[in-house]
């Protein structure tokens, strides 16, 4: 059976990159797959999170997902820490994945920066927990943005090594699904940097909580270059900001970047930004309003998440029990 697992860190609010690269695709895949969508708070604390901020962000991101169309009745929306089976399988994977594999992870290098010795052990082992998230449900497909590709390759390697070490076909090799024109949305201040929750400038990203005026202002202020938009896709060479803004337009319009180039060929940025802003507001406005409605009732969000966790635990418990038996752990009597 095809099953989707995907996750997002509640380290801040969702931004346009999370939405176009991941959440919007999740919503579209709900018709074809059984889905689990997870707020990965255990991953979040691999870097310091003030406890009250973590609690607030977890509810906010849940509200954003529900508002964007995640169907928590048909599918499962839950918080990672409410299913301890993830952390248990992650420990087993700490003993399967090799240090050499983790040493190659570019995201650890980026996040740990120069001060590697002082990064948390959790940040280093982060990809093993991510493998466990997916494989504790034997999920087969993982819709994510481009930046998660390397982690998914590691999850496949770990699944394969476990299967071959124990001589059993336990885990499927999960397939990444990197879909659409928004798989790598870049910063509005610097077209060579990924749009990210951790960028100190709020003008670098559009948040799912931004109102129409803020979206418009951020897009008007977005970095550009002095030339008009190119006539052909080749003309985007060396113009990362133009490429990014046209890519965002394409993703919002459900088209391709080449189509966006054709539509705005030779136009000035100012005119294009106006249309981009209208499209962004039209897409995000209704989600924003719905999100506010959910956030007005935190108890409802908590109840949805608790129910999701209950169902997630029920799905993963037999997988964890199977794995523990294969590894040779005694069963409690």
For ligand TYM, the binding residues (CB under 6 A) are: 5-9, 17-18, 21-22, 40, 43, 130, 133-134, 142, 144-145, 147-148, 151, 182-185, 194-195
Question: Quick one: 8 or 301, whose CB is closer to ligand TYM?
Answer: 8
Nearest distance from C-beta of residue 299 to ligand TYM, angstroms: 25
How far lies 308's CA from each of 40, 47, 57, 83, in Å?
13, 26, 18, 10
Would residue 292 show up in a list of annotated catalytic residues for this protein? no
Question: Quick one: 123 or 326, whose CB is closer to ligand TYM?
Answer: 123
Name the residue whose CB lies closest to ligand TYM.
21
Question: Quick one: 62 or 168, whose CB is closer to ligand TYM?
Answer: 62
Nearest distance from C-beta of residue 40 to ligand TYM, angstroms: 4
How far apart, in whole angstroms, are the C-alpha atoms of residue 12 and residue 307?
Answer: 23
How far lies 100's CA from each of 105, 107, 154, in Å?
9, 15, 11
Nearest distance from C-beta of residue 328 to ligand TYM, angstroms: 27
Would residue 197 show up in a list of annotated catalytic residues for this protein? yes
If you ran DSSP here, which 8-state letter would residue 8 be given? E
Catalytic residue among 138, 194, 218, 273: 194
Catalytic residue among 161, 193, 197, 274: 197
Give the closest residue to 107 by CA, choosing from 61, 75, 148: 148
Nearest distance from C-beta of residue 143 to ligand TYM, angstroms: 7
Q: Which two tokens stand for residue 287?
A: 């989600």
Going across the sheet that includes 141-143, the strands are: 76-79, 34-39, 3-8, 141-143, 175-177
Nearest distance from C-beta of residue 248 to ligand TYM, angstroms: 10
Question: Quick one: 154 or 229, whose CB is closer to ligand TYM?
Answer: 154
Question: Quick one: 106 or 268, whose CB is closer to ligand TYM?
Answer: 106
Helix boundaries (H) for the chain: 16-18, 24-29, 41-44, 51-68, 85-94, 99-103, 106-112, 121-135, 149-166, 212-221, 240-252, 257-264, 269-295, 298-327
Active-site amino acid positions: 111, 194, 197
């Amino acid at each position: 059976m095809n099953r989707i697992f995907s996750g997002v860190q509640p380290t801040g609010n969702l931004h346009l990159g999370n939405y176009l690269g991941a959440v919007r695709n999740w919503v579209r895949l709900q018709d074809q797959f059984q889905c689990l969508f997870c707020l990965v708070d255990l991953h979040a604390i691999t870097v310091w999170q003030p406890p009250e901020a973590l609690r607030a962000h977890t509810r906010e991101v849940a509200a954003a997902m529900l508002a964007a169309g995640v169907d928590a009745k048909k599918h499962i929306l839950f918080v990672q820490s409410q299913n301890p089976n993830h952390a248990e399988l992650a420990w087993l994977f700490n003993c399967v994945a090799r240090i050499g594999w983790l040493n190659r992870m570019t995201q650890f290098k980026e996040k740990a920066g120069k001060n590697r010795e002082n990064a948390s052990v959790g940040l280093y082992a982060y990809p093993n927990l991510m493998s466990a998230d997916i494989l504790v449900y034997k999920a087969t497909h993982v819709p994510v943005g481009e930046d998660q590709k390397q982690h998914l390759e590691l999850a496949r390697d770990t699944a394969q090594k476990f299967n071959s070490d124990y001589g059993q076909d336990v885990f499927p090799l999960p397939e990444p699904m990197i879909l659409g024109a928004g798989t790598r949305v870049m910063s509005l201040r610097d077209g060579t940097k990924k749009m990210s929750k951790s960028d100190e400038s709020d003008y670098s990203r559009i948040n799912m909580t931004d109102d129409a005026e803020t979206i418009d202002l951020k897009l008007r202020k977005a970095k550009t270059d002095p030339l008009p938009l190119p006539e052909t896709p080749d003309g985007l060479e060396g113009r990362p900001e133009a490429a990014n803004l046209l890519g965002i337009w394409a993703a919002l319009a459900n088209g391709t970047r080449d189509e966006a180039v054709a539509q705005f060929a030779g136009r000035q940025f100012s005119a294009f930004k106006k249309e981009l802003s209208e499209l962004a507001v039209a897409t995000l406005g209704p989600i924003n309003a719905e999100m506010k409605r959910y956030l007005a009732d935190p108890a409802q969000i908590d109840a949805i998440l608790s129910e999701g966790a209950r169902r997630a635990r029920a799905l993963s418990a037999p997988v964890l029990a199977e794995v523990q038996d294969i590894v040779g752990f005694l069963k409690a009597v």
